[in-house]
Structure 1
Amino acid sequence: MPTARLTLMSLLLVACAVDGAASSGTVPANPEAGTRAQRLSQAHTWGYQLTGYGDARLRAVGGSAFDLVVIDAVDDDGVAWTSAQLRAAAARPGRARLLAGYLSIGAAEDYRPYWQARWTSAPPAWLLQEDPDWPGSYAVAYWMPEWQTLMLRQLDQVIEAGFDGVYLDLVDAYETTPERPTARADMVTWVCRIAAHARQRDPHFLIIPQNAAELIRDPGYAPCVDALGSEETFVYAMNRPTEAARQQALLADYALWKADGKPVFAVDYADIPALVSQTYARARAAGVVPYVTVREADVLTPGR
């Protein structure tokens, strides 16, 4: 990213809004020299595992060669990782790998530590319908202050544990709320609020949204995020090649991310060896960092 732009952005710091207060506008990208953002831009491999840690905990992460690994913010029992566990998982000869904690900001999950049993019979105003494809996952009115306050508390736990950044899922939730004209703008504001909150506590903290690649076209969004994670560029879960039109549209958006100095981390879902090899090759040819795994994301699949 050009130095002049970084200098300008450094003047635009937005104070964190907490305890349900509204926050909007842009926030700066991470400062320039020697930051995690630079290390992120130099990453050539990545992977993620969201469950299935078992008794080995993060041993697979620590034994991997990945430059970046996304893991759930808690273990299989819902217990937050300790700083010592994360340091051990990040350690490797030379430069430590980056670790990003997973946080779903566009859906609530009834297996999370924050879930309250009474919500099943008396749901809060922000809790909407259950996703039929993912039992236990519920749509949320992500623009409501009560939901945002709850998620900012979860974000604080990710920061305090010692993660390098956060991996935001369900950023594309605005696509399922056509009845709300401001849904897209609400999501931009929400992601930027997360960024402001995090960077007030840790100026180098990474913000990596998953999907909704087209939001990079919003000039207010780009300063809030450091990279893109994007699903199913070349292969749908599982082993179903995507359409050429989808690939072209996504690659056009990826070009904008890369032009802004923000790497793109693509994840596709396949386990047929020939298709896996082909997907890695196509992703690298497109200039994105590839990872191919299973839909359940319950193992850290070896990279290539």
Structure 2
Amino acid sequence: MGRACFWPFCWGGVLLLAASSASAADNAGKASPRQRLASARTWGYWLQAPDLNALGRAGLDLVVVDYSRTGRDEDRFTREEIAGLRDAGTLVLAYFSVGEAETYRFYWEEEWADDPPGFMGPENPDWPGNFKVRYWKRSWWTVLKAYLDRIAEAGFDGVYLDIVDAYWFWGSQDDSLTMRADDMVRLIGRVAKYGRKAAGRDFLVVMQNGLGIVEHASESRQRDLLASIDGVGVESLFFNTTAEDAAYRIRLLARYAEHGSKLMNVEYVPAADMERYCVDARGTGLPMLLYRADPDRMLDELVPQK
């Protein structure tokens, strides 16, 4: 086993997890999801065909999975399946894209290929089958509500919002950055309000990337954002980026942390980089949860953290 470095900067793999799994289940019944998020020390990120049994055995404090084994509605997880993972002491967040539409989701209609709805934008060249959306459109919110209903019905503890940075995609095209940032904050607020009404006031909202929205939105919307979310996740903070970009995002993360947001990070690097990963994270002085995923970015297994 490689050198272990522990929370708040890194978790040390199988031995740490085995030692924590029993107490995690005991503590789960004594604290609210929000309290458990605040005290979480370990997390995992598994989107492609996640194995809930394997995740339960891992003893993680928090996991992010798709609401479905395959992403398709007929394979969505049942309330009993999610409850089994939660009963093991694990908080379970559902991956939830708010800035792109995905062709394999239940809401996709075949006629959209020739007659796209008003909210549909261009296809993401890096992810075929994913289309940018004009997320401020009421018709897109109607789609998201049906998606949230499924997540709440399955008993997830909350959502992990992706493509928040769509505000930059649209706002940087026509100098409407503040307006589009405000639109995204309003959408996040709607997700939080709707989710907490459907699933309970402790329904968690964590956003991934798009950190700059806390500066690009208007002052009042910045406050709304920080009041709506419980945490922020960030990809590729220490690897596959520039020193300038990393320093900028670390500064933003400090602001989120000051307002009580839980910080989470995933890096797509080989196991050989684990020690450097821990050292770099420790150097920020920020209490963030770390997860090393495989460099292919597929998130199709739970990767040993050692």
TM-score tier, shorter chain, comes to 0.7 to 0.9
| Alignment partners' CA distance in 1, 2:32 and 2:59 | 21
Q: CA deviation at 1:77?
A: 6.1
Match of 2:78 in 1: 82
Letter in 1 for 2:267: D
Letter in 2 for 1:258: A
Q: CA deviation at 1:39?
A: 0.7
Match of 1:235 among 212, 234, 239: 239
| Unaligned stretches of 5+ residues in structure 2 | 1-29, 216-221
Q: How many residues align?
A: 260
Residue 130 of structure 1 pairs with residue 127 of structure 2: no
Structure 1 length as normaliser, TM-score? 0.81
Match of 1:62 among 39, 42, 56: 56
Match of 1:289 in 2: 289
Q: CA deviation at 1:184?
A: 0.9
Q: Percent identity?
A: 33
- Runs (4+) off by over 3 Å: none
Residues 94-127 of structure 1: per-residue CA shift (max 9 Å, x gap) = xx11000011000001011211111111111111
| Alignment partners' CA distance in 2, 1:145 and 1:185 | 15
Which structure 2 residues correspond to residues 81-230 of structure 1 after superposition, within 5 A? 81-92=77-88, 96-177=89-170, 178=172, 179=174, 181=176, 182-201=179-198, 202-217=200-215, 218-230=222-234
- CA RMSD in angstroms, aligned pairs only: 1.6
| Alignment partners' CA distance in 2, 1:285 and 1:274 | 19
Match of 1:10 in 2: none
Match of 2:269 in 1: 270
Contact residue 64 and residue 302 of structure 1 kept, 8 A: no
Contact residue 97 and residue 163 of structure 2 kept, 8 A: yes
Give 3-state SS (helix, strand or coil) of 1:213's partner: coil
Residues 251-294 of structure 1: per-residue CA shift (max 9 Å, x gap) = 111111111121100111111x3312211332244321111102
Contact residue 280 and residue 291 of structure 1 kept, 8 A: no
| Unaligned stretches of 5+ residues in structure 1 | 1-32, 237-241
Letter in 1 for 2:127: W
Residues 169-198 of structure 1: per-residue CA shift (max 9 Å, x gap) = 001101111226111110011101111111
Contact residue 164 and residue 205 of structure 1 kept, 8 A: yes
Contact residue 274 and residue 305 of structure 2 kept, 8 A: no
Letter in 2 for 1:296: M
Distance change in 2, residues 1:106/1:180 (3 Å): farther
Contact residue 71 and residue 104 of structure 2 kept, 8 A: no
Structure 2 length as normaliser, TM-score? 0.81
Letter in 2 for 1:206: L
